[in-house]
Structures are given as C-alpha cells and as structure tokens.
Amino acid sequence: PAAPRYLMLNKPRGLVTTAQDERGRDTVYRCFEGADLGWIAPVGRLDKASEGLLLFTSDPQWAAGITDPARGPEKTYHVQVDRIPDAAMLSGAQSGVVVDGELLGAASARLLRAGARNAWLEIVLDEGRNRQIRRLLAAFGIGVLRLVRVAIGPLALGELPKGQWRELSAEEIALMNEVKAKAASSGALPDCAT
C-alpha cells in the first residue's frame, strides 16, 4: 500500500469543502488538479466564505484524532469584523452565549488590531461547531467580514500562498502526533477495579 499523505492547503474563499457539490459549485479539490495524489480527504471543514488552513490526508485514523471534538487540537482564526469590539464583548465571547439552545464560546478572543470602522480579532476554538464563530459574534451584533484559519494546534499556515498546497514535513506530522497523544492521555479514563 502507498504511504499515507499529509497535506496543508491555504483554502481560498468561495470553494466548498467537499469532493463533489450537488449544486455544481467549485470545491477545494480544484486546488489539487494535475497533482497525482491518490485518494485524500479533508480533515474537518471550512465553509465556503471562510479561508485559510485546511488539512488533507489519506490516513483516516490520523484525521479522526484531529477532528475529535473532545481531544482534537485548538484551532486559531483571524477574524475581520464590522465594528470595534469592546473588552466586555471579548470577555463574553470567552464566557459563552446560548444561541438557538446551544452554548457557543471561544477558548480565547483578543483584539489584534483596529481601524476606524472595523477590527481584526484572534479567536481560538477548542471545539468545532457549524459556523461557530459567525454565530457567536452575531449574538453580540457583530458581523464577520473575513474569517481565516491560521493554525491547527502547532501547525501554522505561515506564508503558504492562497490556493496553494504542500506536504507536511516529517517534523510537522510528529508534532501533531505528539499533540494528539497528549490529548488522548489526558482524557484517558482511569482503570476501575470491581
């Protein structure tokens, strides 16, 4: 069997994270056209309007460890918003808010920079829910202008150009495996003797 593949893509805005789209929209697989990669699948998702770091692999077990909602690594996003948030909003995003009966919150939320009418935030999630950041910020009356995932655990997007991909290095794969192993051991249940 072929050796497993581990890839990083800088997903452009406007592509859907699926192999085929029933509505004929462009998918992330367009970025791999012409490359003979064999079967690879996305590790998690980014919605059509989001961009940034998206991992792909041919190793389903490795992918499952990263997407595990309880033990997967944190994901870091840079989010351009349509106003200047105050400290109370940032604190509220971390405390969490109930949206449609679901508690949404961020592991951390901080202001990166602000202009006259909008700002960039860094939001870190320790779980992934459908459109979580957009829904969380909307609860505070804040609209998202851009949403870019810049890191998954210790893997940073870095300077990879939009629409481009590269193989993960052996060091990056080992680093992710180490993070997954630490998370698995910290979440392990104790042995119970009866």
Residue 121: both structure tokens together:
């935030």
Residue 154: both structure tokens together:
């210790």
The question of whether 36 is a catalytic residue gets the answer no
Residue 85: both structure tokens together:
């948030």
Of 47, 100, 126, 191, the catalytic one is: 47
Who contacts 182 (Cβ-Cβ below 8 Å, separation ≥6)?
none
Angle at 128 (CA atoms; ends 103, 51), nearest 5 degrees: 125
User: Catalytic positions, please?
Assistant: 47
